[in-house]
Amino acid sequence: MPSIKEILNTMEYGPAPESQKEAQAWLEQHGRTFGLFIDNAWTDAGALFASTNPADASKLADLTQATGDDVDRAVAAARRAQPGWQALGGHGRAKVLYAIARLLQKHARLFAVLETLDNGKTIRETRDVDLPLAARHFYYHAGWAQLQAEEFADYRAVGVVGQIVPWNFPLLMLSWKIAPALAAGNTVVFKPAEFTSLTAMLFAEICVQAGVPAGVVNIVTGDGAVGEAIVNHAGIDKLAFTGSTEVGRQIRIATAGSGKKLSLELGGKSPFIVFEDADLDAAVEGLVDSIWFNQGQVCCAGSRLLVQESVEAKFLAKLRARMDKLTLGAPLEKSIDVGALVDPIQQQRITELVESARAEGCTVYQPACDIPVDGAWFPPTLITGASTSAAVAQAEIFGPVLVAMSFRTPPEAVQLANNTVYGLAACVWTENISLALDVAPQIKAGVVWINTANQFDAACGFGGYRESGFGREGGREGMYEYLTALSEDARPAAPVLAAPAKIKAPAPIAAGGAFAIDRTAKMYIGGKQTRPDGAYSRAVHGADGAFIAEVGEGSRKDIRNAVEAAHKAGGWSKATAHNRAQVLYYIAENLAARGEEFAARIAAMTGASSASAEKEVQASIERLFYYAAYADKYDGLAHQPPMHGVTVALNEPVGVIGIVCPNEAPLLGLISLVAPAIAMGNRAVVVPSEAHPLSATDLYQVFDTSDLPGGVVNIVTGSADELARTLATHSDIDAVWRHDGSAAGCAEVERLSAASLKRTWVGGAKGRDWYSTAQAGGRAVLAHASQVKNVWIPYGV
């Protein structure tokens, strides 16, 4: 008689398909044809394109290809509705968001089945992950709407928001974007992915049921031309995009100089790091969830396995055995692990990448499984033997393909993890909590999961570093993406600049004293005064046109040297916040000791009265104290999401920031930008006021006597346009700030930064009251000087 174990081993699951009757009936109710949803009404269907089931290639419905005129109507409807929606107040908006959440729950199975039919992902994922999270986002943001007047008292809604999402999480991405936008008082023009628009159509219906006022949510369908129309529309105040890095780069270029607020959640090549002391069986299960969840069509998928050499063979053997048990097939079957790819085009791209790895001599492992004849399918795949520079190790495959390699030590693991242009997410598996918490901050990624994978919650921000984009979705930081500080509305229409005086020739040096006075201020790079590489200088004249001194004419080589020095000063980012605060206090103390000298210099350069110049020096000292005080008080947060664990949101430095300073208030403007940058642990390459640079060059000795490590602040004088251009195109600079009032220069910085997708903060043609802490201080400035990393730490499991 066989044992129970033998019987269990021979048992097979019978078919357990989820019924699609209700979803098909809903499609029939609409005649399987959809117009656009604008101003709470459906338009007549226009030019149509098909939405198909990727599992069997059958047509589900026809959707309307929106035109430019359709986008115009949607934006106009959103513009009309926005004042009333904002005036409804936090409680009024909260009630509507709450109603949407309840309706999502009420119709959860219909949404889940429709999503599976349209996308190809398994019903287990849509039912157990996508729908609960979508409802959670509306519940969570209903709370922010209720608390907005108290928690975001100094902010207002941005206005009309254009939102574009991909096809991998159609409804969930909709929820991530629409919920915070509505909570903040914005109205929305939303474009779902061309392949997967059906759940957005169903969502439009529940918006009406939930009492969303006409024009607040508008949904336009179609291909990339529709997204392009939204991106380029002058009536859009903010754009939120999730998708490929290449398209994100094009959006950054298209919006440069427009003043539109922008958040981008882009691609990833996330590392999944397994240390030798990890629970290997648990790590295998985590890896399955990380890379084969949603067929690997996940921007944060753990597509790069980094396993410690001592356990590599053992771990890979366990992994292959687990792969052999994965089931692939009809997504509506409740026991299926891997569903269909979204489209044959995606299937072809994945196939080509895998075959390129095979041609390069890599080992490709795929479990034996039956591949359905119809539809778009690809089996779970493990690639070993790839070099770190191989296409499969660097490119975002966006499919069920895992590339594995080994490491020996934790530093090597970090180095390999960061060997990518992306920086979206990472997983760290180890039973040593000290090791985990040491490694997590070193990984350049916006989200790090410790001993877990693919955890998401509305309370915890999600977003990336580097070419994975900028901005966050979820949490408090996600709300800020849809708000504008009231202080921005109070900014002067233009910078206040004195009319240039007629230049006077330098006075001749007295006979016999040709070398008595050196009136050429050097640059400051790596803690040392240096001459310009090009050996050119430019004259600095006072308000009366009189020659004062010369400064070096900075060049690309000088910027390169300054960036190298800034990277060598990486220890500043690891210094304690208390230590950074002390140095800022020292700078303030030493500036105060030389206050009269700095005031005289400001008066000579700008023509300001002695009283005004002294006021600027005192304001600069106070601003240093201000950011010294904030250095150890701009803390992160500890979130308690609905899991057994805690999520720690760390405020990390951005890295190396290029700063182009204003011409007005040449000392205070520089201090107001440099102080928050270094208070947060960044290093800076500073281009001082082009017209009045001597306040910056006079700071060298102040820095030298204030314990500021060499390379933390580097000063390169010269042309703001030329040097800003070099900063924006430099691949080792993480962000560029420009506040000199040049509209064209600011637009150029935004456009050129798209090459590496570095963050930017520009002032445009508007001025700024540098004496006002509302306009030149506060958390809004510190947010530009930091980036949030969410570290998920489970416990009790």
Strand, coil or helix: what is 541?
Answer: strand
258: how many CB neighbours lie within 10 A of its CB? 18
Do the Cβ atoms of 566 and 667 come closer than 8 Å? Answer: no
Catalytic residue (one of 265, 312, 477, 614): 265
Catalytic residue (one of 115, 194, 207, 299): 299
265 catalytically annotated: yes
| Helical packing angle, 610-631 and 595-606, nearest 10° | 120
Nearest-angstrom CA–CA distance, 305 and 324: 18
Which of 37, 221, 202, 41 lies closest to 134 in space, CA to CA? 202
Which burial class, exposed, middle or buried, applies to 397 when counting CB atoms under 10 A from its CB (0-12, 13-18, 19+)? buried
Count of helix runs (H) and strand runs (E) in the chain: 31, 33
299 catalytically annotated: yes
User: Measured between alpha carbons, how far apart are the two ends of the chain, in Å?
Assistant: 38
601: how many CB neighbours lie within 10 A of its CB? 23
Residue with tokens 């416990």: 795
The beta strand positions in 672-726, using DSSP E, are 683-687, 713-715
> What's the CA dihedral at 133, 137, 140, 144 to 10 degrees?
170
Phi and psi at residue 386, to the nearest 5°: -85, 145
In the chain, the largest separation of any two C-alpha atoms, in whole Å, equals 117
307: Cβ–Cβ under 8 A, 6 or more apart, which residues?
Answer: 273, 274, 315, 316, 404, 405, 406, 407
Query: How far is the CA of 128 from the CAs of 124, 318, 615, 698, in angstroms?
Result: 6, 26, 61, 62
Q: What angle do CA 788, 793, 796 make, to 5 degrees?
A: 160
Written as six digits, the tokens of 37 are 């949803």
Do the Cβ atoms of 382 and 323 come closer than 8 Å? Answer: yes
Do the Cβ atoms of 753 and 730 come closer than 8 Å? Answer: no
Alpha helices (H) along 484-634: 486-489, 556-568, 571-574, 577-593, 595-606, 610-631
Ramachandran category for residue 156: left, alpha or beta (phi over 0 → left; psi -120 to 50 → alpha): beta
Do the Cβ atoms of 684 and 566 come closer than 8 Å? Answer: yes
Nearest-angstrom CA–CA distance, 253 and 446: 23
Query: How far is the CA of 438 from the CAs of 16, 325, 412, 450, 790, in angstroms?
Result: 45, 35, 13, 11, 14
Strand, coil or helix: what is 613?
Answer: helix
Per DSSP, 338 falls in state B
Written as six digits, the tokens of 271 are 């590392």
Nearest-angstrom CA–CA distance, 417 and 269: 9
Nearest-angstrom CA–CA distance, 132 and 115: 13
Do the Cβ atoms of 697 and 551 come closer than 8 Å? Answer: yes
Nearest-angstrom CA–CA distance, 589 and 220: 58
Which burial class, exposed, middle or buried, applies to 352 when counting CB atoms under 10 A from its CB (0-12, 13-18, 19+)? exposed
What positions carry a catalytic annotation? 265, 299
